[in-house]
Structure 1
């Protein structure tokens, strides 16, 4: 499947991004998608487990003029809505959980393997570089697979 909103299909009205702890990848994807998609598209993020906010996310989003605001990591159980047109999973753990939860639902679950930048070591610049790589990876996927821009 090349895109979520492929030619001839409708743009999803609601998208959930899921990762392990809703601390890095999924909130970053949420912010990027909100900036790239039409205003009427509902975008949310959640994690399989409870996580802690990561300050490097703020650093790399601020570089491109975006913010996650006062976002605090939340689990699936803490979501206000539980129906989405598409669930985009960014980590294996989240993908397995999403497939398990949606077995009896008409929801598309799409897996975008995304590296965990917290495994990066080295200088602050090298670590921030790993977060930038994740941001750019997600921005490219959102542009090409959801927003329909190549």
Structure 2
């Protein structure tokens, strides 16, 4: 969600890469809440940090981690790469139980918090 939001806000004025601790499949709840904003992430396949490093390199200036595991992995990268690391603790919406609408609300909350943080950090228009 964070990468799609940043790309939407800034276009090609900044380079945004996205990776997690492990690769995975697209989350249909992410797809649904991003579609509410008109952002199509349906074809996005989450990559691992190792995949990102292998295919795109790690020529980044900044890594933003959203979970403790991701933060640990990002800090490991600073041993061999000159990059700043920021930790934005973010709740995990996959842990939400309940009906579909309750689960979507958890994803919306994460989406909206990320949007707010991205705009504050990068001074979005």
TM-score between the two structures when normalised by the length of structure 2: 0.90
| CA gap 1:148/1:34 in 2 versus in 1, 3 angstroms | closer
Does residue 132 in structure 1 map to residue 108 in structure 2? yes
**Which moved further from structure 2: 30-39 or 117-126?**
30-39
* Residue of structure 1 in register with 2:45 after alignment: 72
Q: CA RMSD for the aligned pairs?
A: 1.4
* Residue of structure 1 in register with 2:12 after alignment: 39
**SS of residue paired to 2:46:** coil
Residue-by-residue CA offset, 1:62-109 (whole Å, 9 max, x unaligned): 111112241111111212221101000000000011101112432110
Instruction: Please identify which structure carries the higher strand content.
Output: 1
User: By how many angstroms is 1:52 displaced?
Assistant: 2.1
Which of 20, 26, 48 aligns to 1:53? It is: 26
User: Structure 2: which 5+ runs fail to align?
Assistant: none
Q: How does 1:1-150 map to 2 (within 5 A)?
A: 28-79=1-52, 80-147=56-123
Equivalent pairs, count: 122
2:111 & 2:40 partners in 1: Cα distance?
12
TM-score between the two structures when normalised by the length of structure 1: 0.76
2:101 & 2:76 partners in 1: Cα distance?
38
1:81 & 1:110 partners in 2: Cα distance?
19
**Which moved further from structure 2: 135-144 or 30-39?**
30-39
